[in-house]
Amino acid sequence: MSPTDAKASLYSARGLTKIYVMGEVEVPALREVDLEVAESEHIVLLGPSGSGKSTLLHMLGGMDRPSAGTLAFRGRDLTHEDDRALTLFRREHVGFVFQFYNLVPSLTALENVEMAAEIASDPIDAREVLDLVGLADRADHFPAQLSGGEQQRVAIARAVVKAPDVLLCDEPTGALDASTGILVLEVLQHVNEKLGTALIVITHNEAIGDTADRVLRMGSGRIVHEARNETPRAPSEIRW
């Protein structure tokens, strides 16, 4: 991977702040975060629960709006976009992968992927993507007929099929055993390398940080430490 500064900027956040108002209490989830993400960059977000990593991910994905600060995507200001615009932003540019897969249970693996493809403007072929995640032969299975790892790979395929600019993954391996987790990470890295999709992964698992270009450590709503991997490792090489 080439160094970040040599690449164009994908995200640019300045003083990003999010305060949740819970009844009468104000809970700051994110405090004045500055962050630059380059095109095709692979970032891992580490940190304890409540450190603000999910909030940051939601903000980047257009699922939430900041309370203060600015957030730009390829120079486009996302801070003040309305719900409709954010929906279109997610549709065109962002792929999400969750810890609990969240497949639509009434659609087959292929249809889950097609669903995302149908609403995208320039999608990749759904079968091709299923092949990419190694599930071509499971295309016609319903989620209930798939293992956890398989479901997560379908979820990745669903996120990837619309050829997003960034994949946002919230604990993608959290519910999986080691070998399945590695398989999923390999798929993610494969997508990152093959399609040039930026990859931002939240995890509790320190070891996964070794696979990224950059590791951001969060605490109390701030980025408290940043490290760059000059030679990221393959998922199969890391110790779980």
Partner 1 sequence: MRRTLDKKLLRNLLTMRAQIIAIVLIIACGVASLVTMLTSYSGLTTSRDAYYARYRMADVFAPVKRAPRSVLYDVERIPGIREVQGRIVFDVTIDIPWIAQPCSGRTSSVPDRPGRILCGLHMTAGSWFEGDGTRQVILADRFAREHRLKVGDDLLVLMNNKKQPLRIVGIAQSPEHVYLIRGAGDIIPDHERFTVMWLSESFSESVFGYEEAINDILATVERSANVQEVIASIDQRLEEYGAIGAYALKDQASNRYLNDEIEGMEASAGVVPIVFLGIAAFVLNVLMGRLVRSQRGQVAIFRAFGYSNAQVVAHYLKLALLVGLLGAIVGSALGLWFASAIGALYKEFFDLPFYVFQIDTNAIAGGLFVSVGFATLGALQAVRAVARLDPAEGLRPAAPSTYGRTLFERVRPLWRRMGFASRMVLRHVARTPARAAMAAVGIAFATAIVLFTSYIYDAWDAMVDTQFRLIERQDARVVFHEKRGREALYEVRHEPGVLAAEPELVVAVELANGPRTRRTGILGLPRDTELHGLLDRSMRRVALPEDGLMLSQALADVLGVVRGDTLEVRVLEGERPVLSLPVTAVLDEYLGAFAYADIELLSRWLDESYVMSSVRLRVDPHYEDELGTALKDLPAVAAVTFKDRTVKAFRDTAEESQQLSNAVLLFFAGVIAFGVLYNTARISLAERARELGTMRVIGCTQREVGLVLAGESAVLTVLGLIPGIAFGIWLSWVLSKAYATELYRFPFVMHPSNVVTSVCAIVVFAVIANALVLRRLRKSNVIEVLKTRE
Find where tokens 């249809």 sit.
Answer: 111
Segment interacting with partner 1, rule: CB under 8 A, options 2-10, 30-38, 110-118, 212-220: 110-118
Asked whether position 99 contacts partner 1 by CB under 8 A, the answer is yes
Nearer to partner 1, 118 or 128 (CB): 118
Segment interacting with partner 1, rule: CB under 8 A, options 102-110, 125-133, 190-198, 228-236: 102-110
| 88 phi/psi in degrees, rounded to 5 | -65, -35
Segment interacting with partner 1, rule: CB under 8 A, options 39-47, 89-97, 217-225, 230-238: 89-97
Q: How far is CA 169 from the centre of its chain?
A: 3
CB of 151 to partner 1, least distance (A): 7
Asked whether position 4 contacts partner 1 by CB under 8 A, the answer is no
Instruction: Sketch the per residue contact string, 163 through 182, with partner 1: x for CB under 8 A, - otherwise.
Output: -------xx-----------
Q: Return d(Cα 214, Cα 142) in angstroms, integer.
A: 36
Whether residue 68 contacts residue 30, with contact meaning beta carbons closer than 8 Å, is answered with no
Asked whether position 24 contacts partner 1 by CB under 8 A, the answer is no
- Residue 171, SS3 per DSSP: coil
Residues that bind partner 1 (rule: CB under 8 A) add up to a total of 38
Asked whether position 124 contacts partner 1 by CB under 8 A, the answer is no
CA-closest candidate to residue 156, choices 198, 95, 238: 95
Segment interacting with partner 1, rule: CB under 8 A, options 80-88, 179-187, 191-199, 226-234: 80-88
Asked whether position 90 contacts partner 1 by CB under 8 A, the answer is yes
Q: Which of 19, 35, 72, 88 binds partner 1 (CB under 8 A)?
A: 88
Cα dihedral 104, 107, 112, 116 in deg (nearest 10): -80
Q: Return d(Cα 74, Cα 76) in angstroms, integer.
A: 6
| Structure tokens given for 22 | 């819970």
Asked whether position 135 contacts partner 1 by CB under 8 A, the answer is no
CA angle 67, 72, 73 (to 5 degrees): 130
CB of 109 to partner 1, least distance (A): 11
Asked whether position 7 contacts partner 1 by CB under 8 A, the answer is no
| Structure tokens given for 223 | 């980025």
Asked whether position 83 contacts partner 1 by CB under 8 A, the answer is yes
**CA–CA distance from 5 to each of 9, 39, 113, 186 (Å)?**
8, 10, 34, 25
Pairing of strands 9-22, 25-38: antiparallel
Residues forming a β-bridge with 44:
201, 215
CB of 12 to partner 1, least distance (A): 22
Question: Binding residues for partner 1, per CB under 8 A?
Answer: 54, 58, 61, 63, 83-84, 87-88, 90-92, 94, 96, 98-100, 102-107, 111, 114-116, 118-120, 142-144, 151, 158-159, 162, 170-171
